[in-house]
Structure 1
């Protein structure tokens, strides 16, 4: 694939069933139709699960969980 912004080549990554295309040149991220909605659904599920888990742990664990984020996890390939 070719980046629509800078015409450099793009790389496709798959995270949690969602494909994200990233340009090697400008580092832009591109989603196909429907993939943003998939990310939103996955994000909601992720945070719903994290809220349940943190209710049973101490304050130190909660603080550490708040530092972790869905998009940091799913987009960990970004430079």
Structure 2
């Protein structure tokens, strides 16, 4: 894992909580990119964490996009 991937993952886990993360498709796909999940890829699983109280939240959409950009492109830009 690269430094930017680690950094993005720390932010993600802090935001979604360790209990949610432990059971998530995100952790499954990080540990095994070929894992069988309901998501096509890690990006889809990551960005699916965009809801608050059952509704898509624009702030969480922005946060997940910024985290993913950090994870995949080494771009540290806030949301």
Point out the structure with max Rg over C-alpha.
1
TM-score in same-fold range (> 0.5): no
Per the normalisation by structure 1, the TM-score is 0.29
Q: Pick the structure with more helix per residue.
A: 2
Per the normalisation by structure 2, the TM-score is 0.29
